[in-house]
Structure 1
Amino acid sequence: MSMRTEKIAKAPQKLESAPDKQGSLKQNGLSIIKFCLHTHGTTGSYFLKDHMLLFVKSGIYTVRFGDHKYTVRSNEMVFLHKSIRIDYEKSGEPGSEFKLDYIMFFLNENMLEEFVQFSGYKPIYRVNEPVSVSIITVDEFTRAYIESLKPYLESPDEVKDGLVRLKFMELLYHLADSNNHFLLELLQPGRDKNSSISKIMEDNITNPVSISDLAYLSGRSLSTFKRDFQAIYHTSPLKWIRNRRLDQAKKLLLETTLSVTEICFSTGFENVAHFSKVFKLQFGLPPSEFRLQSHPREESIKWNM
């Protein structure tokens, strides 16, 4: 088995069709997905629309966000805040035929608000920014909870929607008991309301997001987001983000040796043919010809070596 690289995926939507998925539970924006694979190393990126908790039963899951690296090993859990892009590396333990076994929990703001109301838990308001990634303590009660999910994941069609919500509620109770500071950060209300449109756009230029996703991340309805965006930029969100991606692709073609395919995916485009078409419309040449014309001498030297 060799290192395998996967292109950026929107989570949890794209994970439902993942080849290493073993089972899942879904209900009104809540998802629990179990994975198991054998790998020496698989790398890729996720854009997280919702909050994610990732529990590693066996193996190693490494998360990179910004300049920080977080390593999650067997019987450990990591929390990843919504609206961020992370890079990951998945690898199994040598003694178990490089087996990696893990579960992802995706939860939205509605679930958190319901938990606060039901439990009576009182978060403390703080002015500091919420953490984006943090390692969470997993005690024996949380490990027992993880094991209790096995029959539900094996027979998801027999599980009622209300029970899925109860299992999420149970998880949050366990985490509240053993990780008070984590929940204080997670449950701070109102931090996403009417977020800066300019910051949302800059943070998501190369992420696989739709206009509806951007509106959601800004805390606005789709119509309000489009209206506010037009007032700021005097163009549509679709045109703005496409042009920024094309400018970034042009820069990478001029300054790096990345292939056209790598540049396509790294700048947020999901189809090489479409990327080449819109690039030609913007700059007059397809990406490969644009690079060749920009560096004719270097190309001549390469072919003569």
Structure 2
Amino acid sequence: MKVTNIQSCQLGPEISPEQFIPEHFFLYLLRGSMKAFDGNKHYQMVPGDFCIARKNHLVRYTKYKDNDEFEKIIITFDEPFLIAFLERHPVETHPSRADDAFLFLPKNKLIGHYVQSLEPYYTGNLQLDEAFADIKREELLMIILKTDPGMANIFFNFANPAKIDLTDFMNHNFRFNISLERFAYLTGRSLSSFKRDFQQAFGTNPGSWLKKKRLEEAYFQINRQHRKPSEVYLEVGFENLSHFSFAFKKEFGRAPTEVMP
């Protein structure tokens, strides 16, 4: 694995480009800053902060560059790696009630020294082969568990999401631009049962409801909160401005710019 100070440093599988976290990962911010939102809570990170991003959570990131640079270290703890780790280092686990998408770890010298040990790989042209990368991942996981043994309850919970209240979840998370399959999985349902339960709960199909709900939220932000359409469309789940503008005008009879106060 070759890394540079522009690409930052990543160990393990690539993280998803979606607004969905499919695997736990450790995030350390080197340069720039970041804000994130998980549907319920806002988070902010500055250089030197580090956290665990939790799998099966929705999250939206806003990155802010420092002198045109944004640098981070990401180390993914995917399920096959965690299962192999648990076989070598058995630990006792208990159900966890923590629900935040980001769990911030207390700052300590062990993690600081660990990050320093990776410096040749994110500031130079050195390469990490796969075997050594896994050793470094295991080292970090052992440090985290030593620092906070309760994190074992997070990492080694391999169960799928349980069935939850559909109405509450969708009203909190409709802004996230993910597939219906993801919504179904996160609410503990198959796609067919998700669509069936959705029709019963909202009286319409998921696609129509999501589109209308997102457009109503966009109208509110533009007309009442005085925000620009270019600032809103991504936040409410649209992929591009032209598609958003077309859908908005079709729904309300006016273009987004025409409802600005």
Could you say which TM-score interval applies, normalised by the shorter chain?
Answer: 0.7 to 0.9
Q: Which residue of 2 aligns with 1:123?
A: 93
TM-score (norm 1): 0.64
Matched, 1:194 2:168: no
Q: Which residue of 2 aligns with 1:270?
A: 239
Q: Which residue of 1 aligns with 2:19?
A: 47
When Rg is computed on C-alpha atoms for both structures, the one with the higher figure is 1
For residues 71 and 124 of structure 1, what CA distance do their matches in structure 2 show?
29
Alpha carbons 2:11, 2:76 under 8 Å: kept: no
| Alignment-mate amino acid for residue 78 of structure 1 | C
Higher relative contact order (CA 8 A, sep 6+): 2
* Aligned-residue CA RMSD (Å): 3.8
Q: Which residue of 2 aligns with 1:103?
A: 73
Q: Among 243, 257, 271, which residue is 2:226 paired with?
A: 257
SS in 1 for 2:233: helix
SS in 2 for 1:265: coil
Matched, 1:242 2:211: yes
SS in 2 for 1:52: strand
Q: Percent same amino acid at aligned positions?
A: 23
SS in 2 for 1:266: coil
Q: Describe how 1:8-87 pairs up with structure 2 within 5 A.
A: 20-22=6-8, 24-27=10-13, 31=15, 47-50=19-22, 51-57=24-30, 59=31, 61=33, 63=35, 65=37, 70-74=44-48, 76-82=49-55, 83-86=57-60
Taking structure 1 as reference, are residues 111 and 240 closer, same or farther at Cα in structure 2, changes over 3 Å only? Answer: farther
Query: Could you tell me how far 1:226 is from its partner in structure 2?
Result: 3.2
For residues 253 and 134 of structure 1, what CA distance do their matches in structure 2 show?
33
Query: Could you tell me how far 1:242 is from its partner in structure 2?
Result: 0.8
Q: Which residue of 1 aligns with 2:102?
A: 133
Alpha carbons 1:90, 1:100 under 8 Å: kept: yes
For residues 248 and 166 of structure 1, what CA distance do their matches in structure 2 show?
46
Structure number with the higher strand fraction is 1
Q: Among 248, 254, 260, which residue is 1:279 paired with?
A: 248
For residues 131 and 233 of structure 1, what CA distance do their matches in structure 2 show?
27
Taking structure 1 as reference, are residues 282 and 89 closer, same or farther at Cα in structure 2, changes over 3 Å only? Answer: closer
Question: Which stretches in structure 1 are left out of the alignment for 5+ residues?
Answer: 1-18, 33-45, 296-305
Matched, 1:225 2:194: yes
Taking structure 1 as reference, are residues 114 and 212 closer, same or farther at Cα in structure 2, changes over 3 Å only? Answer: farther
Large movers: runs of 4+ above 6 Å: none
For residues 121 and 152 of structure 1, what CA distance do their matches in structure 2 show?
31
Matched, 1:175 2:144: yes
Taking structure 1 as reference, are residues 177 and 193 closer, same or farther at Cα in structure 2, changes over 3 Å only? Answer: same
Q: Among 209, 213, 216, which residue is 2:185 paired with?
A: 216
For residues 111 and 251 of structure 1, what CA distance do their matches in structure 2 show?
45
Cα deviations across residues 133-191 of structure 1 (Å, max 9, x unaligned)?
332145454445435546777566x734x665554333222211122233435545648
For residues 108 and 190 of structure 1, what CA distance do their matches in structure 2 show?
14
Question: Which stretches in structure 2 are left out of the alignment for 5+ residues?
Answer: none
Aligned residue pairs, count: 250
